[in-house]
Structure 1
Amino acid sequence: MLLRAVLFDLDGTLVDSLGDIATAMNHALQQHGLPPHPEAAYLRFVGEGVAKLAERATGGAAPSLQGQVLATYHAYYDTHLFDRTCAYPGVEAALAELAADGVRLGVLSNKSDDFVKRLAARLLPGVTFSAVYGERPGIPRKPDPTAALALAAELGVAPDACGFVGDTSVDMDTAKAAGMYGVGVTWGFRTAEELRAHGARAVVSSAGELLAALRTAAP
């Protein structure tokens, strides 16, 4: 095993959360007199933090209205976090095997930090994460590499001995900017073509393939 640590995105990578995100945002939009969107539209809306989600879902409405929608979304999502969201098949077992190999595991998401911690703890109870972080004040969101580099340092691992797994161009751009080994997963919110175009070193379509790719990575 050449990688000593692996960082994972959350939404679309470890957990399938699209339905709950779409329902919560559509609820917020309707509460403020705005039209809802088909669930599939949220495949393109998510990935760059909740403020960008609100901007896209509202069609670039005035910042004050975006703020109101965001507050309503947050309050609703807080109590509906686990309605439909679940871990992807085989992911928990694959991560547990990595941990058994001695690989340190972390989560780095652009989702609100509290939500990330709650989702990881409840939906992946069999995985020992060394650190779990979402969006936090004063720390740039992905694809800025600041948070990824800080997390690698916290785990005591050099960036070039660290993998970064995600399902969007944002994740692959983060991996590249941080000097980490980027692995894209195709079961999430974006396409294999997008992942490859943004520098994925490997693209996988199952938890088994993910485990194999990380175990044989050659940074």
Structure 2
Amino acid sequence: MQVKAIVFDLDGTLLDTLDDLWLSVNYTMDKFGFPHRDRREVRGFLGSGVRVLVEKSLPEDKKDMTDECLSVFKAYYDVHKDDNTRPYDGVIDMLKAVRAAGLKSAIVSNKYDAAVQQLKNITFNGLVDFAVGEGNGIKTKPAPDGVLLALKNLGVSKDEAVYVGDSEVDLKTAENSGLKCVAVTWGFRDRDFLIECGAKNVIDATCELLPLIQKGELN
């Protein structure tokens, strides 16, 4: 069946959010007198939402403070979420090409929904048809809830959509949702890691996505 829609992950796929998340983590660590996390550590913690990010960033004997630290993290990140955050090179042109090809698009993220909507409106206004993040009864990925809601809003079936993401969480999300997946290497995980996790369709540049989908040969 012909692909009619693409469902995108946000962080690490469309937006390079690493620096703002990293700085927000270390602001939170400072507030509680905990050691900083380096940028590479935080990169490895990403993919399962900000609660998991904060929990993994805490010292092993301070995990019981996750809720308290999460509140501080969110308050800071809400103000600074677009200080350094930018679309990856070629993403805007890719989304324009997707729209020009007559395909619908959605964002499904493990970031809390308020931040997802704000970043979508700031960066992708008019280029993405629907977006949803964690909250309002939507389970975080790899649960299929967000993807299924996106498909419903786009008016397409599982067979008519492709999922695009940058992590092992995204690969599992696509599997759980019944969608074929394209993994990207410009985000928070490397090519070798993605292949080890079972990625069958891997691209290294945004310009590769639409031609790959239009060939109709996704595994």
TM class, shorter-length:
over 0.9
1:177 is matched with: 176
Runs of 4+ deviating beyond 6 Å: none
What is the alpha-carbon distance in structure 1 between the residues aligned to residue 139 and residue 151 of structure 2?
A: 16
**SS at 2:210 equivalent:** helix
Cα shift at 1:153: 2.1
Cα shift at 1:60: 4.1
Contact kept, 8 Å, 1:114 with 1:134, in 2: the verdict is: yes
What is the alpha-carbon distance in structure 2 between the residues aligned to residue 217 and residue 74 of structure 1?
A: 41
Paired letter, 2:68: Q
Deviation by residue 1:128-181 (Cα, 9 ceiling, x = unmatched): x22111111322111111221222122111112211000000001111121111
Cα shift at 1:59: 3.2
Cα shift at 1:26: 0.5
Paired letter, 2:164: V
Cα shift at 1:50: 1.1
Cα shift at 1:21: 0.1
Superposition RMSD on alpha carbons, in Å?
1.6
Contact kept, 8 Å, 1:165 with 1:182, in 2: the verdict is: yes
Deviation by residue 1:92-121 (Cα, 9 ceiling, x = unmatched): 111111111111100000001111111122
Cα shift at 1:15: 0.5
The 3 A distance-change label for structure 1 pair 43 and 63 is: closer
Stretches of structure 1 that go unaligned for 5 or more consecutive residues are none
Report the TM-score when normalising by structure 2. Answer: 0.93
Cα shift at 1:20: 0.4
Cα shift at 1:64: 4.5
**SS at 2:108 equivalent:** strand
1:78 is matched with: 78
Paired letter, 1:92: I
After TM superposition, the structure 1 stretch with the greater mean CA deviation from structure 2, 56-65 or 158-167, is: 56-65
Query: How many matched pairs?
Result: 218
Deviation by residue 1:43-62 (Cα, 9 ceiling, x = unmatched): 11111011111110003444
Cα shift at 1:69: 1.1
1:28 is matched with: 28
1:205 is matched with: 204
**SS at 1:21 equivalent:** helix
Contact kept, 8 Å, 1:111 with 1:135, in 2: the verdict is: yes
Contact kept, 8 Å, 1:24 with 1:76, in 2: the verdict is: yes
Cα shift at 1:200: 2.6
Percent of residue pairs bearing the same amino acid type:
35
What is the alpha-carbon distance in structure 2 between the residues aligned to residue 212 and residue 60 of structure 1?
A: 46
